[in-house]
């Protein structure tokens, strides 16, 4: 392969790596504030990495191997036909030669092609836990909050059955009316419906994979992604800088009555490499800034996602404060009823207790959801 052909192969592979990949770094969806996203599964990432590495090997194998060829030469004889003939030439002035050519810099080019592909694969893998968080959108934190809510319902399940059984007993003893019993039954059914709805919501979120939280591991994966992206950029930049340098080694064999060999080593440097080096430094500096803050990059998408979560914190705080206020009112009223110690107040106390259980479950849900939104910030040392 000629030096020019090798350069075209390398440049073509660099352009392929530079093309945008599909949803490895897709954006989140949160109430329309951020663009929609899809999340790749492990099998898709494995397929992408196999594709990148196969393409890199296809290019690098051509760079690693030497080129062989045949040359047919016609060399005019100096001094005309009466001059002493070249012993390597036939009488008609033609000769055939076998040539092996090799460009030592191609070994370095091949290595950088493979390393750029590996870095692109690493970036795709590191992006997965981050994109899984972002893909939850407005559902972020709900799975943990629903578990907390279900835990409250389950903790009070026996007590709810006990209150209902006691109400039926009072009805049978004609202490309470049928209407009072029906009121408690309706409250009990409402609790059970709410518990069933929370269970269905949790199962749906778990089935969709919407059960990821921003943890230290997520931020570490984001840092790994950013490093891998910049590693790939540096390898591609190095490939571009090498295009101005050409080193070619050729060895040839001359058959005939007096076989011989010849060799050629050529070195060429494009003087434009001086300006190119400065341009590549500017390129890498700009790319670092872009990866660290651009809205189209993974870190920028995560920052926008966090801002959306933070914007919803005041509303959650207001809802939680309202639930706490209702619980405080119910607690005070039940305290007053307990002081009266009269059997005729048992129904009212049971109704208030059922309402308190529903509010405690709602409190647990809101408290966990609020905590997840408040803590969606990077740990120290992981900011760009």
- For residue 68, give the 3-state DSSP assignment: strand
Is the domain of 204 the same as that of 255? Answer: no
284 and 224 in one domain?
A: yes
What value, to the nearest 5°, has the Cα angle with vertex 356 and ends 355 and 362? 95
Strands (E), the chain: 67-74, 94-102, 245-254, 260-269
Two tokens at 107? 């070994």
Q: Where are the beta strands (DSSP E) in 24-74?
A: 67-74
Q: Please say whether the beta carbons of 98 and 68 come within 8 A.
A: yes
Q: How far apart are CA 188 and CA 194, in angstroms?
A: 10
pLDDT at 337: 82
In a domain, 306, yes or no: no
pLDDT value for 108? 93
In a domain, 305, yes or no: no
Asked if 382 and 223 count as a contact pair (C-beta separation under 8 A), the reply is yes
User: Residue 286 is inside which H or E element, if any?
Assistant: helix 273-293
**In-domain check, residue 303:** no
Is residue 225 in some structural domain? yes
Examine the domain organization and report whether 324 and 204 are in the same domain: yes
Please report whether residue 307 resides in a domain. Answer: no
Q: Same structural domain for residues 273 and 288?
A: yes
Return the pLDDT at 98. 86
Same domain, 127 and 147: no
Q: Do residues 35 and 110 share a domain?
A: yes
> Which of 297, 328, 345 is where one domain is finished?
297
- Cα–Cα distance, 14 to 236 (Å, whole number): 6
pLDDT per residue, tens digit, the chain (384 aa), is 544 444 434 434 443 443 333 333 333 333 333 333 345 678 889 999 999 999 999 999 989 888 888 878 776 665 555 444 555 555 556 777 788 898 899 999 999 999 999 999 999 999 999 999 998 888 999 999 999 999 999 999 999 999 888 888 888 777 777 888 888 999 999 999 999 999 999 999 988 877 788 888 889 999 999 999 999 999 999 999 998 999 999 888 877 667 778 888 999 998 998 999 999 999 999 999 999 988 889 999 999 999 899 889 999 999 999 999 999 999 999 888 877 766 557 888 888 999 999 999 999 999 999 999 988 766 555 554
> For residue 335, which phi and psi values (nearest 5 degrees)?
-65, -40
User: From the DSSP assignment, how many helices (H) and strands (E) are in the chain?
Assistant: 11, 4
- 96 and 107 assigned to the same domain: yes
Rounded CA-CA distance 153/244 in Å is: 71
- 131 and 192 in one domain? no
pTM: 0.71
End-of-domain residue from the set 297, 327, 350:
297
Given a contact cutoff of 8 angstroms between Cβ atoms, the answer to whether 249 and 264 are in contact is yes
CB atoms inside a 10 Å sphere around CB 301: 22
Task: Identify whether 82 is part of a domain.
Answer: yes
Cα distance between residue 245 and residue 138, in whole Å? 53
**Would you say residue 304 lies in a domain?**
no
The total number of residues written for the chain in this structure:
384
Which residue carries 């893909």 as its tokens? 135
In terms of domains, do 224 and 316 share one?
no
258 phi and psi, to 5 degrees? Answer: -125, 75
181: Cα separation from own chain's centroid: 55
- Residue 296: the pLDDT is 86
79 lies in the same domain as 185: no
Residue 132 placed within a domain:
yes
Burial class (CB in 10 A: 0-12, 13-18, 19+), 354: buried
Q: Verify that 80 and 125 share a domain, yes or no.
A: yes
Whether residues 184 and 38 share a domain: the answer is: no
Range of the domain at 267: 1-137+213-297
Number of structural domains in the chain = 2
> Which residues in 21-152 belong to E strands, given as ranges?
67-74, 94-102
């Amino acid at each position: 392969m000629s030096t020019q052909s090798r350069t075209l192969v390398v440049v073509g592979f660099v352009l392929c790596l530079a093309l945008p990949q599909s949803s490895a770094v897709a954006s989140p969806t949160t109430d329309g504030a951020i663009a929609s996203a899809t999340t790749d599964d492990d099998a898709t990432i494995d397929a992408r990495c196999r594709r990148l590495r196969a393409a890199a090997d296809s290019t690098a194998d051509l760079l690693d191997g030497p080129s062989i060829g045949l040359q047919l030469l016609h060399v005019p004889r100096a001094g005309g036909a009466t001059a002493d003939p070249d012993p390597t030439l036939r009488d008609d002035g033609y000769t055939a030669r076998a040539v092996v050519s090799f460009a030592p810099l191609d070994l370095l080019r091949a290595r950088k092609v493979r390393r750029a592909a590996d870095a692109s694969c690493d970036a795709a893998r590191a992006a997965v836990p981050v994109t899984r968080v972002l893909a939850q959108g407005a559902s972020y934190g709900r799975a943990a909050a629903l578990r907390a809510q279900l835990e409250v319902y389950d903790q009070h399940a026996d007590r709810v059955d006990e209150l209902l059984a006691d109400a039926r007993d009072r009805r049978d003893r004609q202490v309470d009316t049928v209407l009072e019993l029906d009121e408690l039954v309706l409250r009990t059914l409402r609790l059970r419906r709410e518990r069933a709805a929370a269970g269905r919501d949790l199962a749906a979120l778990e089935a969709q994979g919407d059960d990821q939280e921003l943890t230290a591991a997520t931020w570490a994966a984001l840092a790994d992604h950013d490093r891998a992206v910049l590693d790939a950029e540096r390898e591609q930049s190095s490939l571009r800088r090498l295009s101005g340098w050409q080193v070619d080694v050729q060895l040839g064999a001359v058959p005939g009555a007096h076989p011989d060999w010849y060799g050629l080593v050529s070195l060429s440097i494009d003087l434009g490499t001086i300006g190119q080096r400065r341009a590549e430094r500017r390129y890498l500096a700009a790319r670092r800034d872009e990866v660290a803050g651009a809205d189209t990059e993974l870190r920028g998408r995560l920052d926008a996602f966090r801002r959306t979560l933070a914007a919803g914190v005041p509303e959650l705080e207001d809802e939680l404060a309202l639930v706490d206020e209702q619980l405080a009112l119910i607690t005070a009223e039940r305290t007053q009823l307990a002081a009266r110690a009269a059997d005729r107040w048992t129904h009212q106390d049971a109704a208030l207790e059922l309402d308190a259980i529903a509010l405690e479950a709602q409190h647990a849900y809101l408290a966990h959801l609020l905590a997840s939104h408040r803590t969606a910030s990077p740990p120290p040392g992981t900011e760009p």
